[in-house]
Structure 1
Amino acid sequence: MKTNESDTSMTQVEQKNEDSGSSAVRLTPDGMATAAAEFTSRCMFHWHRGVIDCGDKVVIFGNDGYELGNTADREVQLIREYIETTGLHADGFGLDSGGYSWAIVATNYSRLSVDIPKLETAVNECFRTAWQESRGSSNKENEQC
C-alpha cells in the first residue's frame, strides 16, 4: 500500500483537544510507527533490523522488504509475541511509503528499565526463526543470514 507523503489520514493523526481551538496535532500509535518506519528507511537503512530506546517507548524496526512477501510478516508476528512477555505493549505498527521498512512502537507502561541488548538479540532470533520456517528447516547448517 503506497501512500502519498502529503496525504495525512485521520487514522494516523488525531486532533488534540478540538474544543480549545488549539492546532496541536498528535500522532496515533500507528502514525508514530509509520513515522518511525519512514525514519529508519531514510536514515538507518543500512541496519537490517534493530531497536531504538525512546524512554517510555521502544521502536523495533526492520528494513527487510515487508510487502515483498518474504519472511518479514512472520518476523513481526514473532516479535509481537515476544515483546508481550517482556512487559512492553505493542501499540502501533507502520510501514514506510515504499512498504519495505516496518516499525512497531511499544510502550513501557511499567517504566522499568528495558534491556535493549537482550531485546535486540530477541529481534534477531525472531528473524532467524521466521527465515528458517520459510525454508521448512531448523537445521543451523542451512542458515545463511
Structure 2
Amino acid sequence: MTIPGPKLELTDDQWREKLNPAEYQVLRRAGTERPFTGEYTDTKTAGVYECRACGSELFRSTEKFESHCGWPSFYDPADSDAVILRRDDSLGMSRVEVICANCHSHLGHVFEGEGYPTPTDQRYCINSISLRLVPAGATSAD
C-alpha cells in the first residue's frame, strides 16, 4: 500500500522553528515520551485533540479511555482519514505506527486484541506531546 504524501510539507529547519526540541523529537523523529509523564494521560476534559504540529483534528475525548498504559489511549480516531497507519519494525518488533494524515507527524502506535471493553478492541496509544486539546466550546485559536 502506498501512503499518500503529506498535505503540509515543511523543511526540517521549518519544523525546528515551529516545534520545541521535545515536540520535534517525538513528532518529527518518532520519539516517545516517558510513560505517565504526558499532560493528557489522565485528562478527562471534553474536547477535540488536534495534531500539535499542524492543528488537524485527530481524536475526540468521547473516544478516550483509561488503559493505564502511561499514555493517552483512544479506541478510534475522530475521522477514518485523520490518521495513517503504517508498519513499524523498529526496536526489533513489529508494530503499527500512527501518523497524522495531514503532516505525517508521528503520534504513537495502535494495538489490537488486548481485550479492552471498547467498541473497536483497538488502543491508539498516543504521545501527549503529539496532541493539543481544544476543550469543548473553545476554538484552537483561543
For Structure 1 versus Structure 2, the TM-score category normalised by the shorter chain is: under 0.3
Q: Which structure has more strand as a fraction of its residues?
A: 2
Larger radius of gyration: 1
TM-score by length of 2: 0.28
Q: Which structure has more helix as a fraction of its residues?
A: 1
